[in-house]
Amino acid sequence: MDDSTRDYYEQEAQRFFDATVNIDPTPILTPLAEALLPGARILDIGCGSGRDLLWLKERGFYPHGLEPSPALAALAETHSGCPVTVGELTTTDFLDRPWDGILVSGVLVHLPHGTVPGHLLRLAGALADGGRLYVSVKEGKGEGTDADDRSFYYWQDDDFRQVAQGAGLSVLSMSRSASARGNADIWLGYLLKAEGGTS
C-alpha cells in the first residue's frame, strides 16, 4: 500500500467507518462461514470498520482484526468487541502461525500485481489443515487512482485464478457482485484452500 492510500484510511477513518459499517456482509462472508466449524479462529486482514469481525463473532467464530490505520483499528475494536492489532499484510508476523480462516477483503486491490503471488503464497502457508482463505479483488484491467488519491490494481478472473494456482491455492467457489456502496465497481470474491489440504 502506498503512502497516499495509507494516509487516506488514517485521515478519513471516521468517514470510511460511517460509509461501510452498516453494509450487510452476509453475501460476502457466508461462503467462508459455511466452510468453517464453529469456534474457528479467523484473521481479518484489513478489517476496516470491524463490521465483518462483529458478523463473524455473532456466528460463533473467534476473529482477530489486523488494520494498518491506528484510527480505524480503534474504531473497529470498539464496534466489534474483538481484538484488533495495528499492522498490515505486507509486514505482519501474524501469518507465522496457523489460522482456520483468513479474510482478505478489499486489501489486494491496493497492492501492485507483481507482489500478489508472494502474498498469496504466504497466506496459503498460514492456513491450518482444512483452513480456508477468502479474497476479494476489483474486476478490471491495469491500475488507477480514485478521487481520494487511493491506488487500485484491478484483476481479471482468469489472471487471478492463475496467480492463486501458482501460490498453491485451489478455488472452491467464486462470486461476481456489484459494489454494496452503490458505485460502478465490480468485486470478484474467491473462497480458496491450500492444495493438498483437506476438502
Confidence of residue 179 (pLDDT cuts 50, 70, 90): confident
| SS3 assignment, position 181 | coil
CA dist 196 and 199 (Å) reads 9
For 29-79, write each residue's pLDDT tens digit: 999 999 999 999 999 999 999 999 999 999 999 999 999 999 999 999 999
- Taking alpha carbons only, the member of 57, 45, 55 closest to residue 99 is 45
For 69-105, write each residue's pLDDT tens digit: 999 999 999 999 999 999 999 999 999 999 999 999 9
DSSP 101: E
Q: Is the pTM of this model over 0.75?
A: yes
- With cell 456482509, the residue in question is 25
Q: What percent of the chain shows pLDDT beyond 90?
A: 88
The ranges assigned to domains in the chain are 3-194
- Taking alpha carbons only, the member of 33, 31, 23, 65 closest to residue 48 is 65
Q: What percent of the chain shows pLDDT beyond 70?
A: 97
Residue 169 and residue 112 in contact, taking contact as beta carbons nearer than 8 Å: no
Average pLDDT over residues 6-26: 94
Contacts of 113 by beta carbon, 8 Å cutoff, 6+ apart: 143, 153, 155
* CATH code, 3-194: 3.40.50.150
Residue 6 and residue 69 in contact, taking contact as beta carbons nearer than 8 Å: yes
For 86, phi and psi rounded to 5 degrees? Answer: -75, 120
CA dist 167 and 124 (Å) reads 7
Question: CA 147 from chain center: how many Å?
Answer: 22
Position 15, amino acid? R
